[in-house]
Amino acid sequence: FIVILHIFKCYDIEDIDKYFTRNNKQPIILVHGADANDAQWLISYLYLKDDYDVYTVQLTNLKPNKNDDLEKIKLKLDNKIQYIIDNTKHKKINTSFHKIILVGHSMGGLICALSCEKYHKYIEKVITINTPWNGITMLTCIKISAKYFNEMAKQSYILTKCQHILNDKNIPLIYVYNNHDICVYEDDAHPTHIKNSKRVVFGYGHASPILFKKIWQKVGLI
């Protein structure tokens, strides 16, 4: 599975979700993390496609642009949300059943939270997988750009803002973590400012949990 993830990272496929089959079901958007792309969700799509209209969003190229901060990158998710709102055939996106579910891996979870500030009335809940709610490890800082390091350092403004958005807008959060993630330590994976949150323990490693069907069962999606 880890090898498969690395293969996915070698291909920069823009808007891979245009090839996904949709049947006017509840929309779910899968948001990748730093140093990745939306192809990482191909296996997850197979698990979710029978119950949801699955969308992904290409936040960055393979190598993140150091001039793009997280609030600028989140505009790409905003555009995807707006696209769903404008193009949903049943035009009932504001009803309970048809609200959007956001799923973010790692940095993608922070992007999901940022988009909830503008689109909270269209969002049913946010699910994050190994997201650094309270900072990333120094090992991760070495791997990604200095810009992202500054914004995801412990006690940064952006981390606090992400948590307060979900709390203030009362967006339910389910956050997945495991004790074997060298990118995000266990204490840093727990949001400290979000009241309406539930934790799920699953998997091994930082990215590999998304490849297993059981993770979607654990968070109650299938």
Read off the pLDDT of residues 117-128 as tens digits, 9 standing for 90 and up.
999 999 999 999
- Among the residues of the chain, which ranges form H helices? 2-8, 42-48, 70-87, 107-119, 138-143, 146-152, 157-168, 186-189, 213-218
Contact assessment for residue 79 and residue 58, using Cβ atoms and an 8 Å cutoff: no
Contact assessment for residue 17 and residue 55, using Cβ atoms and an 8 Å cutoff: yes
Among 67-71, 119-123, 168-172, the least confident range: 67-71
The pLDDT of residue 96: 54
Integer angstrom CA distances of residue 3 from 6, 10, 24, 166, 207: 5, 11, 34, 34, 11
Asked whether the predicted pLDDT for residue 62 surpasses 50, the reply is no
The pLDDT of residue 154: 84
The pLDDT of residue 109: 97
Closest CA to 182 of 206, 214, 153: 206
**144 pLDDT tier (thresholds 50, 70, 90):** low
Q: What share of the chain is helix, strand, coil (3-state, %, to 5)?
A: 45, 15, 40
* Residue 97 CB neighbour total at 10 angstroms: 10
Q: d(Cα 192, Cα 84) in Å, to the nearest integer? A: 31
Closest CA to 129 of 108, 100, 144, 152: 108
Grouping H, G, I as helix, E, B as strand and the rest as coil, residue 100 is strand
pTM of the model: 0.90
Q: Kind and range of the H or E element at 98?
A: none
Q: What is the mean pLDDT of residues 60-74?
A: 69
Q: d(Cα 40, Cα 204) in Å, to the nearest integer? A: 16
Residue in the block written with tokens 């309270």: 134
Return the higher-pLDDT residue of 3 and 199: 199
Asked whether the predicted pLDDT for residue 9 surpasses 60, the reply is no
The pLDDT of residue 38: 87
Mean pLDDT, the chain, rounded, equals 86
Among 8-22, 60-74, 97-111, 113-127, the least confident range: 60-74
Condensed to tens digits (0 to 9), the pLDDT of residues 181-196 reads 888 988 899 999 999 9
Asked whether the predicted pLDDT for residue 218 surpasses 80, the reply is yes
Condensed to tens digits (0 to 9), the pLDDT of residues 45-54 reads 999 999 999 9
**64 pLDDT tier (thresholds 50, 70, 90):** very low
Beta strands in 52-156 (DSSP E): 53-57, 100-105, 123-129
Count of CA atoms in the C-beta half-sphere (13 A) of 183: 23
Q: d(Cα 41, Cα 9) in Å, to the nearest integer? A: 11
Q: d(Cα 182, Cα 77) in Å, to the nearest integer? A: 27
